[in-house]
Amino acid sequence: MKTILFFLILFLLTWSSLSEGATSLQSLIPQKDLPEGWILIDGPQGYTKKTLFERINGQAELFFKYGFQKSVFAIYQNQKDRESQIELDIYDMGSVLHAFGIFSRFRSGDRGGGVGLESFIEDQSGIFYQGKYFIMLFGTERNPDLLRHWSLLISKNIPDPSPPPREIGFFPKEGLNPGSIQYFPEGLWGRKFLGRGFQGTYRGNGPVDTAGQGKNRAKEPKLLIAVFKNSQEAANALRQYRDDLARNGKIYQFKAETLRGKNDHQGEILVIQRKFYLLGASGFDEQEASSLLGKLTQNLNL
């Protein structure tokens, strides 16, 4: 009995050690074979849900909404030019969905750097996500090529092979603004009852309501994919949207799992229920909305 107990304890200790090693963020921080002339001068410094405010006080709540688990921070310096530094943050967001979600909230367009599952690199900052990890870099000098080089170096250390969220590929490509798809864990389209889901921004056709009177299309037409636990929850959300539109806009149609109406902020609105999804289009004319939602339904194989 003592022998069995001994081996059980040994197994648990070994498993715990391996598990901790597999999830160690510190191991993702480059410390050897750095670019020539660069050294690590600060960190790695780890942060948890209790201490993240010490690192990003104004943005911690947003990270928490996207499932933040832990993070690590480090600073690198160029020894030939000590004013040149790179700050690195690596966030464990718990899943590739949440990693994409927080990434989608920070990028502002399509300036991909070919790093990770998707990246966005500007003059002094770069972000990308890979598996369940979200990575941010900031340079003291304007050098996007340097940030891309560092991003590739970090990417090589990340073992998570998870593919991107499949919903990203469901949005019709025609007219879709590159880099515009976002994931929201709650409050999709600014409405609590729509819960979580994805939205993409489109160029669309037709006149734009530049006067802000809601007479024509919105400036930024959008498609949404709202995801629910089951079809009943989706149906309840569609009814809540009907009530919201009745109070704050106009309803043209509500039947056969279809809601069509209009409000001043979004312009023309078309929302349909398909199983446990709500698929929506706002700011398009009726013909465009129907066409795009038809393609979205086909892509979702519904």
Lowest-confidence range among 29-33, 152-156, 216-220, 238-242?
216-220
Residue 21: pLDDT band with limits 50, 70, 90: very low
CB environment 70-84: b (16+ within 10 A), e (fewer) = bbbbbbbbbeeeeeb
User: Which letter, b or e, does each residue of 275-287 get, where b requires 16 or more Cβ atoms within 10 Å of its Cβ?
Assistant: ebbbbbbbbbbee
Return the structure tokens found at 39: 């050294």
- Establish how many alpha carbons lie within 13 A of residue 262's alpha carbon, considering only the half-sphere containing its beta carbon: 14
Q: What is the pLDDT of residue 214?
A: 42
> Which whole number is the average pLDDT over 148-175?
93
Q: 32 versus 93: which is more confidently predicted? A: 93
This prediction has a pTM of 0.86
Please name the residues in contact with 83: beta carbons below 8 A apart, sequence gap of 6 or more.
140, 141
* Average pLDDT of the residues of the chain: 88
- Among the residue ranges 105-119, 158-172, 184-198, the one predicted with the least confidence is 105-119
Query: Is the predicted pLDDT of residue 278 greater than 50, yes or no?
Result: yes
Residue 190 burial (10 A CB sphere; 0-12, 13-18, 19+): exposed
Q: Give φ, ψ of 175 to 5 degrees.
A: 85, -5
Nearest by Cα to 117 from 106, 72, 104 = 104
The arithmetic mean of pLDDT across residues 281-295, rounded, is 95
Cα–chain center distance at 254: 32
CA neighbor of 137 nearest in space, from 200, 86, 92: 86
Q: What is the pLDDT of residue 15?
A: 37
Of 282, 275, 230, nearest to 260 (Cα)? 282
State pLDDT tens for residues 59-106: 999 999 999 999 999 999 999 899 999 999 999 999 999 999 999 999
Judge whether residue 6 has pLDDT over 50: no
Instruction: Tell me the domains of the chain and their CATH numbers.
Output: 26-155 (3.40.1000), 166-299 (3.40.1000)
Q: What is the pLDDT of residue 67?
A: 97
